[in-house]
């Protein structure tokens, strides 16, 4: 059948990827645990490796994109064996099945493969995860890269944009402030990444048949607290209700990197895609004004 298989297509990054490839005229099969209606929507759960292999054998895609994961950092910390079945074992089973078909895999990793001690990480810097989620991503990265040099590892961070379930940080900020609630935000440094801009860069990497590791994040390194306040201003909400998280409030949760910012010279040189700053990305999101189809 060929075409592109996006695993995790109902999520923020997966849906942005599907739109970007379809915008270029590609045939996209959108797979997820809750698939979209129609012949190009298929059910797939990474925790069911036999089903994943069967779907790949049936579809024989030319390319597989894998943004699907359990991304809940605290849950990974408290349920490592359960989440490893998806984030490591499920990922590597899918990657192995793709390799058997000769199809390159695009695996989405995280800035959390670094401990945040210094920030401004390059692709070639050694990984040093601080929490279980980061350890799972680092292990999956190594396995995916070991299967094929054609495989692409995309490290990204703090992705935001419209999605049907308001799970990303910006939509949570909008929902809480719209309800008149206060929100406390840790003052950690990262690169907020507009999902549609991320998808544009990844689709271009794939068009150029590039493999290896690429950092694909927003152009600015910002504290999350400042980003939350910028989001509030962009959407006309009360930023005074955004408060810094109290010292020690995260002590019972998974540790977070203090500065997990990533450098992006490699992807910019490889694709020519301009990565957006936070204000530009939020403005582009606001202009869309709805959850895209």
Distances (CA, A) of 125 to 114, 115, 275: 9, 11, 21
Which residues contact residue 127 at a Cβ distance below 8 angstroms, ignoring those fewer than 6 apart? 113, 114, 134, 138, 141
Residue positions annotated with a catalytic role: 133
Both tokens of residue 210?
Answer: 């590039």
Cα angle 230-236-237, degrees, rounded to a multiple of 5: 80
Query: Checking phi first, is residue 180 left (phi over 0); if not, alpha (psi -120 to 50) or beta?
Result: left
Question: How far from each other are the two terminal CA atoms of the chain, in whole angstroms?
Answer: 24
Q: Give the separation between CA 201 and CA 195, rounded to whole angstroms.
A: 10
Nearest Cα neighbor of 163 from 137, 187, 132, 199 is 199
For strands 193-194 and 159-160, give the pairing.
Answer: parallel
Find residue 245's DSSP bridge partners.
none
Nearest to 29 by CA among 62, 69, 71: 62
């Amino acid at each position: 059948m060929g075409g592109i298989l996006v695993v995790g297509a109902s999520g923020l990054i997966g849906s942005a990827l599907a739109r970007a490839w379809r915008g270029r005229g590609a045939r996209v099969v959108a797979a997820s645990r809750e698939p979209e209606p129609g012949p190009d929507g298929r059910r797939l759960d990474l925790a069911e490796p036999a089903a994943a292999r069967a779907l790949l054998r049936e579809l024989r895609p030319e390319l597989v994109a894998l943004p699907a994961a359990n991304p809940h950092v605290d849950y990974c910390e408290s349920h490592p064996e359960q989440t490893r079945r998806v984030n490591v074992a499920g990922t590597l089973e899918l990657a192995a099945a793709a390799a058997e078909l000769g199809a390159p895999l695009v695996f989405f990793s995280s800035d959390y493969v670094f401990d945040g001690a210094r920030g401004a990480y390059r692709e070639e810097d050694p990984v040093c995860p601080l929490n279980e989620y980061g350890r799972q991503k680092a292990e999956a990265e190594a396995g995916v890269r070991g299967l094929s040099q054609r495989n692409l590892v995309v490290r990204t961070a703090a992705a935001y944009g419209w999605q049907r379930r308001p799970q990303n940080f910006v939509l949570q900020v909008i929902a809480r402030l719209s309800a008149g609630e206060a929100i406390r935000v840790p003052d950690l440094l990262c690169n907020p990444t507009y999902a549609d801009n991320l998808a544009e860069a990844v689709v271009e990497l794939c068009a150029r048949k590039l493999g290896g590791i690429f950092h694909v994040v927003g152009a600015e390194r910002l504290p999350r607290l400042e980003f939350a306040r910028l989001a509030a201003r962009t959407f006309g909400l009360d930023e005074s209700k955004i408060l810094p998280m109290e010292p020690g409030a995260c002590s019972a949760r998974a540790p977070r990197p203090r500065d997990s910012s990533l450098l992006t010279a490699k992807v910019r040189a490889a694709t020519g895609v301009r990565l957006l700053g936070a204000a530009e990305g939020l403005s582009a999101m606001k202009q869309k004004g709805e959850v895209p189809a």
